Structure 1
Amino acid sequence: MATEFNEKAPNWPRDDRSLARLQRHIELGELGELPAGALRGNPRYLVTYMHSETGGKIRSATIVSITNQARGVNRVSVSFFKGFTSGSSPVGVASFAIPPEFTVDFGSRDLPTELVVVNALPSPELTFDEGRAIVSSELPEIGVSARVYYTSGDRDEELLSITDSGVVVYTEANHGD
């Protein structure tokens, strides 16, 4: 996991009811990273641009946020692909079991928690990759957003910008949006 569950992170609930619900999901194994190859879901969305690089003066990482809108636990994965490759050989895959109404951030690589709390990462993390990502899930009721963080410094200590990536229903065209 990108970071173990961090009770001081901004995505950690503060009220007693939410904390109890979260603890129950953790104890039941309904919230957490999944082993590689554990997902049998269907492709749902295409993230049209992914960039993850650490070698230059400007560094980048792609974050895909997914909210489970289904009534049950949804097993979700994000597969990252280089731009000039087919959809059969991802350079990285991150998978996570998401309880109803929870949001999980999938990253191409980890970033400081001051920028975003990354919950799921591919292994190894992506450090010289540009292309696209495909979001797959067992249940279709998910909300998806994606963005690329541009930083500088050896530890991503300076945020330069954040850009939104297009998210399109898988196998369908976007309509200029």
Structure 2
Amino acid sequence: MNTTAKTVFDFSAVSLAGQPVELAQYHGKALLIVNTASACGFTPQYAGLEKLHERFQERGFAVLGFPCNQFGAQESGTHEEIGAFCDAKFGVTFPLFAKIDVNGANAHPLYQFLKQSAPGVLGTEGIKWNFTKFLVKPDGTVAHRYAPTTKPEDIAADIEALLPPARA
């Protein structure tokens, strides 16, 4: 892990299209970072995540999706297949990244940081399943971790609290 990292903006990732992305480009925005999968019981949450992204993006918010195949091999597709599925089935417009590991020796450094910043139930760091969510403040620090069972719409008030007021 990047031991000098202080915020999520200290990391980079690879986009679903294979391009490097510096997360520093999101500095000043609240983020919801989610490990996703296309063949999971929670996959319909893509629709709710997209609604959050659309509702709050003009106020400085973005959802970032990180496909992961570590839970029941529920994200076995290629990057092209993942992108096509998310677009066709849920109309996803938020950024999706290349498939990563979120647990274990090969866990992406961003996820190592997220897990240390916001441990789960009983202080455990490991991600338990697809669609674990991390709400990140505009300064890049982690505000909250949500279980896979937490529906995106149930996070809206927490997101709202991190954003500037809506313009009338």
Q: Normalising to structure 1: TM-score of the pair?
A: 0.30
Question: Which one has the bigger helix percentage?
Answer: 2
Question: Which one has the bigger strand percentage?
Answer: 1
Q: Normalising to structure 2: TM-score of the pair?
A: 0.31
Larger C-alpha radius of gyration, 1 or 2? Answer: 1
